[in-house]
Amino acid sequence: MEIAPQIIALISFALIFLTLFTGMYIFVALGLSALISAAIFQHSWAAMPYILFDNANSFILTAILTFVFMGEVLYRSGATMILFRGAVAILKFLPGGLYHAVILASAVFAATCGSSAASAATIGRIALPELLDRGYNKRLALGTIAGGSTLANLIPPSLGFIVYGACTQESVSRLFMAGVVPGLIIALLMMIYVAIVVKMHPEYVKPAPAVSFKQSFKDILNLIPIFVIIVFVLGSIYMGIATPTEAGTVGALSALILAAFYKKLNWKIIKESGFGAVKVTSMVIMLFITAYMMGSVFGAMRVPKIIMEWVSLAGFSPFMVLIGVIVIYTIMGFFMETLPVLVLTIGTVYPLMMSLGYNGIWFGVLSTIVLAAGMITPPVGICLYVTQALPPTSSLLEVSRGCVAFCVILYIMAFLLIIWPELATWLPNMVM
């Protein structure tokens, strides 16, 4: 007896969530569900070897390895400490200068790393002890670290944009450019919020120790090599000189040169950075391959087309569908990280949004912002747990309460992006 594709699709969704709740790795859950569904449906079974090879052979995914390696080297060479010191020197005149320095350092580190969890761990390990030693409010300090880390989801080279581009065939270079303006606006909104809180609660900060102009100037000058790497890497992408993979390779080499300049380069740093980069890249590639396996089964069963036809018959407006997708992404963000949600849903959601006339680059930025909020909301927000584990350890409730306002800021940015899509599309349209 032949089973209707719709029934198999429902079985597939049930299998995915059932395997996830059993505690399996996400890529195992996706791959197992895809194989079982393909075996039942039969039509896409023979294509599985070709799907595995074609997607594992994706050139754009190599950019993940190079950018993560660059961030790992910069972190292990002590560049992040230099980055934080420079940010403090630049923003010390603002009320609550250290809070602002965390946000600025997070934004700059995002431009070298692309991982929110790595940003929270790296910047937090340096900033939190200093914030607490100077008597700054702990809850706001934790919120600033976790909230600032979400900027890595938007400011290039965002791993989310690389995966989104690989899944949808949208230009990763254009996605990188599209994330710059929203990312900077979010950083500015965070700094405005911090300034307002400090104004309302002067007890949240303590006077900064006196630092000579000479030392401050030296700290700012030390930032120049890091900014040169960022401008060189991202500028080569924006000007069309290099692909993201080529630019990431140059960035990785530049990071090694900078580590040598700081007299920190040794075999241990190279080995640990390489292992760290390979672990992250392997995880992303396995997610990517298994998501494509699942997507191919759904495609053979015409699931995206059935959903589009259902939306059309139901009479939902494009705006209502968009709000529905945001709600679904918000709920999924409570329980899953950004990359798994993207690879799990984009094969179905992206064709639907394109059929409704939305811009693919704009939607990539919007979905990344919404999913970034999930990284600082319980119960599974990865940045919450990373920040909680920073010494001295804090309760999850304390970190979560500190992140509420920063989560609201991300949704404010999503709202602004819906009203003014040009915030995401203006820069890539102007440059490319």
Give 237's pLDDT tier (boundaries 50, 70, 90): confident
Q: Does the pLDDT at position 138 exceed 70?
A: yes
pTM: predicted TM-score of the whole model, two decimal places: 0.84
Whether a cis peptide bond, with omega within 30° of 0, leads into 157 is: yes
Q: CB under 8 Å to 302, separation ≥6 — which residues? A: 5
Instruction: Tell me the C-alpha distance between 2 and 41, whole Å.
Output: 9
Please tell me which residue, 76 or 99, carries the higher pLDDT value.
99
pLDDT of residue 366: 95
At position 145, the amino acid (one-letter code) is: I
User: What are φ and ψ of residue 395, in 5° steps?
Assistant: -80, 155
Residue 13: exposed, middle, or buried by beta-carbon count in 10 A (0-12, 13-18, 19+)? middle
pLDDT of residue 406: 95
Q: CB under 8 Å to 181, separation ≥6 — which residues? A: 423, 424, 426, 427
pLDDT of residue 333: 81
Q: Does the pLDDT at position 2 exceed 60?
A: no
Q: Does the pLDDT at position 7 exceed 90?
A: no
Q: CB under 8 Å to 328, separation ≥6 — which residues? A: 345
Q: At what angle do helices 244-261 and 172-200 cross, to 10 degrees?
A: 50
Q: Helix, strand, coil % (nearest 5) of the chain?
A: 80, 0, 20
Place of tokens 């009203």: 419
At position 393, the amino acid (one-letter code) is: T
Give 73's pLDDT tier (boundaries 50, 70, 90): confident
8 A C-beta contact, residue 46 and residue 71: no
Instruction: Tell me the C-alpha distance between 344 and 27, whole Å.
Output: 10
Residue 312: CB atoms within 10 A of its CB come to 11
Residue 378: exposed, middle, or buried by beta-carbon count in 10 A (0-12, 13-18, 19+)? middle
Up-side HSE of residue 369: CA atoms within 13 Å toward CB?
A: 32
Residue 306: exposed, middle, or buried by beta-carbon count in 10 A (0-12, 13-18, 19+)? middle
Please tell me which residue, 109 or 293, carries the higher pLDDT value.
109
Averaged pLDDT of the chain: 83
- Residues 15-60 have pLDDT tens digits of 777 776 776 777 777 777 777 777 776 655 666 676 666 666 667 7
Rounded mean pLDDT, 155-167: 86
Q: Does the pLDDT at position 236 exceed 90?
A: no
Please tell me which residue, 84 or 362, carries the higher pLDDT value.
362
pLDDT of residue 45: 62
pLDDT of residue 1: 47
> C-alpha distances in angstroms, 330 versus 215, 318, 343, 366?
45, 18, 15, 12
Q: Does the pLDDT at position 143 exceed 90?
A: yes
Give 200's pLDDT tier (boundaries 50, 70, 90): very high
Q: Does the pLDDT at position 13 exceed 80?
A: no
Query: Among positive and negative, which fits the CA dihedral 196, 200, 205, 210?
Result: positive
Residue 314: CB atoms within 10 A of its CB come to 9
Up-side HSE of residue 56: CA atoms within 13 Å toward CB?
A: 10
Give 182's pLDDT tier (boundaries 50, 70, 90): very high
pLDDT of residue 413: 96
pLDDT of residue 407: 94
**Pair of tokens at residue 33:** 């569900």
pLDDT of residue 190: 95
> C-alpha distances in angstroms, 88 versus 187, 209, 322?
16, 12, 40
At position 387, the amino acid (one-letter code) is: T
Rounded mean pLDDT, 160-164: 88
pLDDT of residue 309: 67
Percent of the chain residues past pLDDT 90, beyond the cut: 21
Q: Does the pLDDT at position 193 exceed 90?
A: yes
Q: Does the pLDDT at position 197 exceed 90?
A: yes
Q: Does the pLDDT at position 69 exceed 70?
A: yes
Buried b (16+ CB within 10 A) or exposed e, 119-154: bbbbbbbbbbebbeeeebbbbbbbbbbbbbbbbbbb
Please tell me which residue, 246 or 379, carries the higher pLDDT value.
246
The answer to which of 185-189, 206-210, 278-282, 302-306 has the lowest mean pLDDT is 302-306
Q: Does the pLDDT at position 219 exceed 80?
A: yes
The answer to which of 31-35, 155-159, 363-367 has the lowest mean pLDDT is 31-35
Instruction: Tell me the C-alpha distance between 238 and 247, whole Å.
Output: 10
Rounded mean pLDDT, 94-121: 84
Up-side HSE of residue 207: CA atoms within 13 Å toward CB?
A: 3
Instruction: Tell me the C-alpha distance between 340 and 287, whole Å.
Output: 7
Give 175's pLDDT tier (boundaries 50, 70, 90): very high
Cα distance from N-terminal residue to C-terminal residue, the chain? 53
Residue 294: CB atoms within 10 A of its CB come to 28
Rg (CA), the chain: 22
Rounded mean pLDDT, 84-89: 85
pLDDT of residue 273: 87
8 A C-beta contact, residue 387 and residue 124: yes
Percent of the chain residues past pLDDT 70, beyond the cut: 88
Q: CB under 8 Å to 358, separation ≥6 — which residues? A: 318, 322
